[in-house]
Chain A
């Protein structure tokens, strides 16, 4: 799988998606004054890379993601996509939510069409493109079902189809498979990697599952306890599909290190 080698050399590609996080601090109003959700953070997501952001719950990883999505304004610093400041939500930055955020009053097909409407396509073409997007996630047979009629994994596949159909440069995923059972999650990993290979968006994948981060991404960023900051970076070059049993011991070593960072040994000893 050659694309693992392309990740850092592909900056000249026309379809960019370079995210610059420049001295960003995010504070929220709390009951006792402002609370820092994200400590000063600087980082660059290179075009076409797959970065997992991992950290303890409440550490601000979702806050950082929401800022890149344009949902939350940074209190300090700036965020740029391909040099342009991120001023608010835009179809250039796609978002996959943990709770799917499908519109229950639309069928799967019409959920996908919702994003396509902005292009003002002829109806025939719009439907064809939406069907193609559903086919990509293996749901062409379920196009006319409503979200309530689909399982959790199927709902998330519709959401992935809906987001990719718009052609985002950046894809943000907030614990997208957190609500799914382990087996469905494995299927979704494979599906996501396949689609990502085709579309080549810059992915930021928020998770608290270390294994998921290691199996999927080029880069793993570990965040500290709140107020969150990036404390460790791993660059993974192992070929995909990865498995802990197959790929030698280095993944397992990294996994142990990250687990140590997230749950220091003393805590574990106390809880036992």
Chain B
């Protein structure tokens, strides 16, 4: 009796009929990984051309090789390493605190009506306040040390992760809960093995956003009242009009953010494996 509905194997991956004949599976992966490189090479080429033409002053718009040597310079005198370590530490700690609190409180407001009534309007009021506006308050409260950076980053990450977690909890399909209850599951087991996984895609979307916002708010916090870190170094480069260093630091920030995003995305894909397609 199994014959009728097994004629088509739903596990088989769909391949685009137009591309499939021309590219083998391996070549397709190669093309996928190579596409961003083409884009980078293209932009770098134009940048190099502009730099070599001498049309723009180096102090305004430095050529790629100047940026490269500025990077090497910062690496050799050791500031780049300490700045990276400081900034990553702040982003990491801030993100850790913010994401943990965000998920925990999101689960609570999503599940417990009393907590939701007490907190949701207030939290929604906080959400539009940009991280940078918080920096002065953070400095008054925590000084210009690490405390104020942790506070600004974790606050920003917290709100985003809370918001997404809360909404993930709201959209747990009713039929899952009905099925769970008529199968005799306890509320605890239902929460851990039905509600949490059902909300997990939203929670991960929030965490991914949180990672991006961690870097954003970190630089905001470091631009004023810091004596190390990528954000501080950017500020310092402005005082000496070192555009080459600024470019270098901005590119590093971009790479850091992209790598962090890739890592979180990969972890999310592993954990929420049922959400593909």
The residue on A at minimum CB distance from B175 is A101
* Chain B residues whose C-beta falls within 8 Å of the C-beta of A180 in the assembled complex: 5
| Apart from A115-B183, A153-B5, 19 more pairs, CB < 8 Å | A71-B178, A89-B178, A95-B182, A97-B175, A101-B178, A103-B193, A104-B275, A105-B197, A105-B200, A105-B272, A114-B185, A118-B186, A148-B274, A151-B8, A151-B10, A154-B6, A166-B183, A184-B5, A191-B1
Q: Which of A126-176 contact B (CB under 8 A)?
A: 138-139, 145-154, 162-163, 166
What residue of chain A has the Cβ atom nearest to residue B274's Cβ?
A104
Cβ distance A199 to chain B, nearest Cβ, rounded Å: 16
B6, B186, B197: residue with the most chain A Cβ atoms closer than 10 Å: B6
Closest-CB distance, B270 to chain A (whole angstroms): 12
Whole-angstrom distance between the alpha carbons of A95 and B180 in the complex?
Answer: 10
Partner of B176, one of A101, A151, A166, A191: A101
Does A82 count as interface, using CB distance less than 8 angstroms? Answer: no
The 30 listed contacts between A and B (C-beta, < 8 Å) are A69-B178, A71-B178, A88-B181, A89-B178, A90-B184, A91-B184, A95-B178, A95-B182, A97-B179, A101-B178, A101-B179, A103-B179, A103-B193, A103-B194, A104-B274, A114-B180, A115-B183, A115-B185, A118-B185, A138-B1, A139-B2, A145-B11, A146-B274, A148-B10, A152-B5, A154-B5, A180-B5, A187-B1, A187-B4, A190-B1
Q: Chain B interface (Cβ within 8 Å of chain A)?
A: 1-2, 4-6, 8, 10-11, 175-176, 178-186, 189, 193-194, 197, 200, 272-275, 277
User: When the two chains form their complex, are residues A115 and B178 in contact, meaning their CB atoms are under 8 A apart?
Assistant: no
A88–B197 Cα gap in the complex (Å)? Answer: 24
Cβ-closest chain B residue relative to A110: B193
Q: Are A91 and B183 in contact (CB under 8 A)?
A: yes
Bound complex: CA of A69 vs CA of B206, how far in Å?
Answer: 35
B contact residues around A97 at 8 Å (CB)? 175, 178-179
Candidates A103, A139, A184, A187; contact of B197 at CB < 8 Å: A103
Closest 9 CB pairs of A and B: A91-B184, A89-B181, A153-B5, A115-B183, A101-B179, A104-B274, A118-B184, A105-B197, A89-B182
Binary flags per residue of A94-128, CB closer than 8 Å to B gives 1, else 0: 11010101011110000000110110000000000
Across the interface, name the chain B residue whose C-beta is closest to A168.
B182
| A183 contacts partner chain B, Cβ-Cβ < 8 Å | yes
Q: Which residues of A contact B197 (CB under 8 A)?
A: 103, 105
Contacts of A38 in B (CB 8 A): none
Which size bracket describes the interface of A in this complex? 35 or more
A93 at the interface (CB under 8 A from B): yes
Q: Assess the B10–A149 pair: CB atoms within 8 A.
A: yes
Q: Which residues of the other chain, B, contact A227 by a CB distance below 8 angstroms?
A: none
B171: min CB distance to chain A, Å: 14
Q: Is the CB–CB distance between A94 and B182 below 8 Å?
A: yes
Question: How near does chain B come to A70, taking the closest CB pair, in angstroms?
Answer: 7
CB-nearest residue of chain A to B2: A138
Distance between Cα atoms of A163 and B175 in the complex (Å): 14
Nearest residue, chain B, Cβ from A148: B274
Q: Mark A192-220, 1 if CB is under 8 A from B, else 0.
A: 00000000000000000000000000000
Task: Indicate if the CB atoms of B184 and A115 lie closer than 8 Å.
Answer: yes
Cα–Cα distance between A256 and B5 once the two chains are bound (Å): 31
* B4 and A183 contact, CB distance less than 8 A: yes
For residue B1, which residue of chain A has the nearest CB?
Answer: A187
* Min CB–CB distance B273 → chain A (angstroms): 8
Instruction: Select from chain B the residue with minimum beta-carbon distance to A139.
Output: B2
CB nearest to A159 among chain B residues: B179
Shortest B10–chain A CB gap in Å is: 5
Report how far A101 CA is from B197 CA in the complex, Å: 14
Q: Give chain B residues whose Cβ lies under 8 Å from the Cβ of A106.
A: 193
- When distances are taken between beta carbons in the complex, the residues of chain B under 8 Å from A88 are 181
